[in-house]
Amino acid sequence: MWDVFEQPWTLLGAAVIVLLIVFTVRAVLPEKRRLWLWLFPLGVAGLAVGLDALVATDLEKINELVKTGVRAVEQEDCAAIARLLSEDYADSYHKDKQAAVSHCRSRLVPPAIEKINKMGEEVRITSPEAVATFTVIVKFDKNSVWAQSYKPSAMVKLQFHLRRQPDGTWRVRRAEVQEVDKVAVTSWGVARATNAQLQAIVACQS
């Protein structure tokens, strides 16, 4: 809350306090009125805006990574997705990064995803590690196998384990699907399902 690198409001609040002090000094001690006194609150306010604009925090970097990932999925761009994964990536279904990218290229074939809307998020950072959980609405392309075999859209809850790299960037080292339409799933079961299995899922839910 008080991290001046996460948000500018702490320093802006301090600038207001300094401004009030300057007003008080000028009112109580007229002989101390100096134009340079105004530089104190202006300097603090400028520092607040400058830090917010110039210093990208871990949270901001992670949010930018997520935005980049969403765009990559919407554009069925597996090469862009691969760049977001760490070299030691592995999850409950993919043994390594190469397996995950290969799976992406086999399943994320146009037409696939029309739009992804983020509904909720929770990010816990214990640098150099972080865990980010997101709930999204995935709207499938009407001509995709997902829309034709499952339904037009799905609410998906995903969890990402991230690690900060030596160059300061963040990469995903593990990703898991936790829920689909508020139904808990194990590993990547739904993501790797065949058309027949998707139809069976629909039948179970109806």
Helix (H) or strand (E) holding 205: helix 195-205
- Residues recorded for the chain: 206
Note the pLDDT tens digit of each residue in 110-121: 889 999 999 999
HSE value, Cβ hemisphere, 13 Å, CA-based, for 59: 12
Helix (H) or strand (E) holding 129: strand 129-140
Over residues 22-51, the mean pLDDT reads: 57
Helix 39-54 / helix 9-28 crossing angle, nearest 10 deg: 170
How many whole angstroms separate alpha carbon 154 and alpha carbon 177? 12
How many whole angstroms separate alpha carbon 134 and alpha carbon 65? 13
Over residues 164-171, the mean pLDDT reads: 93
Q: Is residue 185 within 8 Å of 177, Cβ to Cβ?
A: yes
Instruction: Check pLDDT > 50 for residue 1.
Output: no
Angle among Cα 167, 79, 135 to the nearest 5 degrees reads: 80
Least confident of 39-43, 59-63, 106-110: 39-43
Give the pLDDT of residue 117.
95
Of 171, 204, 174, nearest to 187 by C-alpha is 174
Per DSSP, 141 falls in state: P
Note the pLDDT tens digit of each residue in 186-203: 766 555 554 444 444 444
